[in-house]
């Protein structure tokens, strides 16, 4: 192959790689944010951003308050599947984060398949059902490392 042809092939491969990267879900591993007036279920008012994982995820809330119910919320772990139904990996009940801004509720999930579109959503906010209550958290985060204590 001539030098000119190999440069052309390299350019095409680089452009294709950039396109695939640009079209990916944009998921990453660890992140943190806040929760403002979320309720049960998914959608923009109760579903987290996506993240990538390989075997372990920990969801952490701090500084929780609830309007219209008890100091409790369920946190469900899912992965998004565009061509089939989403996979459910369980629900953890968070109560400790309601004890003050420095108290954390943690939900650990292990043995997870490698995915790039995990997300969590709330369930039974305030101990109620049918989106009765609203939740706030000063910290909501995902940690995918096992080294943290």
Full-model pTM: 0.77
- Tell me what pLDDT residue 135 has: 94
- Hey, which of 3-7, 23-27, 73-77 has the most confident mean pLDDT? 73-77
Give the whole-number percent of the chain exceeding pLDDT 70: 74
- Tell me what pLDDT residue 46 has: 76
Indicate the pLDDT class of residue 2, thresholds 50, 70 and 90. Answer: low
Give the whole-number percent of the chain exceeding pLDDT 90: 50
Rounded (to 5) percent helix, strand, coil in the chain: 20, 45, 35
Whether residue 16 has pLDDT greater than 50? no
- Tell me what pLDDT residue 130 has: 67
The CATH code of domain 31-143 reads 2.60.120
d(CA 62, CA 99): 9
Whether residue 141 has pLDDT greater than 50? yes
Mean of per-residue pLDDT scores for the chain: 80
Domain ranges of the chain: 31-143
- Region 29-44: mean pLDDT is 84
């Amino acid at each position: 192959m001539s030098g000119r042809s190999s440069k052309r092939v390299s350019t095409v491969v680089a452009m294709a790689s950039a396109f695939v990267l640009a079209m990916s879900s944009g998921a990453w591993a660890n992140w943190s944010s806040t929760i403002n007036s979320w309720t049960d279920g998914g959608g923009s008012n109760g579903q987290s951003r996506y993240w990538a994982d390989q075997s372990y995820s920990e969801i952490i809330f701090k500084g929780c308050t609830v309007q219209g119910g008890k100091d409790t919320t369920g946190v469900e772990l899912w992965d998004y599947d565009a061509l089939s139904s989403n996979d459910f990996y369980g629900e953890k009940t968070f109560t400790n984060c309601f004890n003050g801004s420095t108290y954390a509720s943690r939900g650990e999930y292990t043995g997870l398949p490698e995915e790039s579109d995990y997300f969590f959503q709330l369930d039974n906010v305030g101990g109620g059902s049918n989106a009765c209550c609203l939740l706030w958290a000063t910290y909501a985060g995902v940690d995918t490392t096992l080294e943290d204590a």
